[in-house]
Amino acid sequence: MSPTQPSDPAALGAVRRLILEAERPVVLTGAGVSAESGVPTFRDAQTGLWERYSPEQLATAEAFAADPSLVWSWYLWRARMVRAVEPNAGHRALAAWQARTPALRIVTQNVDDLHERAGADVLSHLHGSLFAFRCAECDTPADVDPSAVVALAESAAPGSEAGLEALMHLEPPLCAACRRGRVRPDIVWFGELLPERAWGDAQAALEECDLCVVVGTSGVVQPAASLPFLALGAGAPVVEVNPDRTALSDAMTHVLRGPAGTVLPALLG
Ligand code: OAD
């Protein structure tokens, strides 16, 4: 179908009606929903400390094995960056929709906690969380406070080149349970399987939904990108909210072009 602008009252009206009628809606979110909070998306160029690296270079088990300190430092830096930003109008509009329609399920590829901090309940974090950690060998969960670790490293040499360098060389602790493995982020890296429960819950929700709204994902990372097709297969309309065309756009029932922070409040307000 042809894309419509969010300012197009007919398109917004049609999707609003779907939203009012939906009894089992599902929202599937990607990095774009957090972009207006200041969290860079994956396919944006990185800036600052990490501009030399692409996420694909850092988000793998091989990268962690080759240079645990570099990968650990990147994740702790991201966790701290997310702690410093706030949910935006898009997160808040989704939380308000869920407050009105508690059957609304949110499935996210994001490893931030901005849906939760906006007051929403997330059914499924498909790719894990920046705030959960486990042993790379025995899988035992580990307690780590990313802000405290980064703040300690910063205080050693505040503002200096050496201080910045130190932030890229934090050491992952040894697992307190097995004393063999390094602690790693509980995040799905490229080439790894999704957590069984998160994936199963997401699949079930999509198969049972009567409306799916896909927000801020490029739709190129599998298997998450297959989820909208489960909804379509179940006969549910699927709506895309994204400022740009994506790999999913052609299959969508409706496309609303624009940033989540503008489109979602207009749709759900
Ligand atoms: P991407 O970075 O691939 O795509 C972000 C999408 O958000 C793009 O389609 C943008 O057009 C869109 N976008 C940008 N600003 C937006 C805004 N203000 N409102 C709405 N949309 C906006 O991110 P994902 O699709 O989430 O996996 O990436 C999927 C997975 O790839 C991530 O979860 C991550 C990455 O590798 C893991 O870490 C395992």
- Of 165, 192, 219, the residue at which a domain comes to its end is 192
Question: What is the CATH classification number for the domain harbouring 49?
Answer: 3.30.1600.10
Task: Indicate the pLDDT class of residue 7, thresholds 50, 70 and 90.
Answer: low
Ligand 1 atom showing the smallest separation from residue 31 Cα: 26
CATH number, residue 21:
3.40.50.1220
Q: Which residue among 218, 239, 241 has the greatest number of ligand 1 atoms within 8 angstroms of its CB, and so is best to mutate?
A: 218
Positive or negative: CA dihedral 107, 108, 111, 117: negative
223 and 116 belong to one structural domain: yes
Q: Higher model confidence: residue 5 or residue 146?
A: 146
Are residues 171 and 224 located together in one domain of the fold?
no
What are the beta bridge partners of residue 141? 134
Q: Write down the H helix ranges in 8-128.
A: 9-21, 32-35, 55-58, 61-66, 68-83, 89-100, 114-117
Nearest protein CA to atom 36 of ligand 1, as residue: 42
Q: Are residues 97 and 144 in the same domain?
A: no
For residue 2, the model assigns a pLDDT of 46
Q: How confident is the model at residue 1 (pLDDT cuts 50, 70, 90)?
A: very low
pLDDT tens digits, one per residue of 69-96: 999 998 988 888 899 999 999 999 999 9
Q: How far does residue 16's CA lie from ligand 1's centre (Å)? A: 24
Together in a domain, 45 and 160: yes
User: 47 C-alpha to center of ligand 1: Å?
Assistant: 16
User: What are the backbone angles phi and psi of residue 58, rounded to the nearest 5°?
Assistant: -105, -25
pLDDT category of residue 64 using cuts at 50, 70 and 90: very high
pLDDT of residue 179: 96
Q: Is 127 one of the catalytic residues?
A: yes
Whose alpha carbon is nearest atom 23 of ligand 1?
31
Q: List, for residues 151-210, the tens digit of each pLDDT value.
A: 777 776 666 666 666 778 889 999 999 999 999 999 999 999 999 999 999 999 999 999
Of the candidates 227, 220, 224, 167, the one whose C-alpha atom is nearest the C-alpha of residue 43 is 220
Q: Is the CB of 107 under 6 A from ligand 1?
A: no
262 lines ligand 1 (CB under 6 A): no
Domain boundary among 167, 192, 217: 192
Examine the domain organization and report whether 160 and 258 are in the same domain: no
Same domain, 254 and 144: no
Residue nearest to atom 9 of ligand 1 (CA): 218
Percentage of the chain lying above the pLDDT 70 cut? 91
- Marked catalytic residue, from 125, 127, 169, 254: 127
In a shared domain, residues 199 and 256: yes
Say which residue, 223 or 4, is predicted with more confidence: 223
User: In terms of residue numbers, what domain contains 168?
Assistant: 40-84+131-192
Distance (Å) from CA 40 to ligand 1 centroid: 9
Q: Assess whether 4 and 58 both reside in one domain.
A: no
127 lines ligand 1 (CB under 6 A): yes
For the entire predicted model, the pTM comes to 0.93
The C-alpha atoms of residue 215 and residue 3 are separated, in whole angstroms, by 15
The rounded Å distance from CA 220 to ligand 1 centre is 9
Residue where a domain stops, chosen among 192, 208, 241:
192
Structural domains in the chain (count): 2
Residues 146 and 167 in one domain: yes
Are residues 155 and 115 both part of a single domain?
A: no
- Mean pLDDT on 140-155: 82
Task: Tell me the average pLDDT of the chain.
Answer: 91
**Angle at the Cα of 14 from the Cα atoms of 9 and 18, rounded to 5 degrees:** 140
Which residue type sits at 56?
A: E
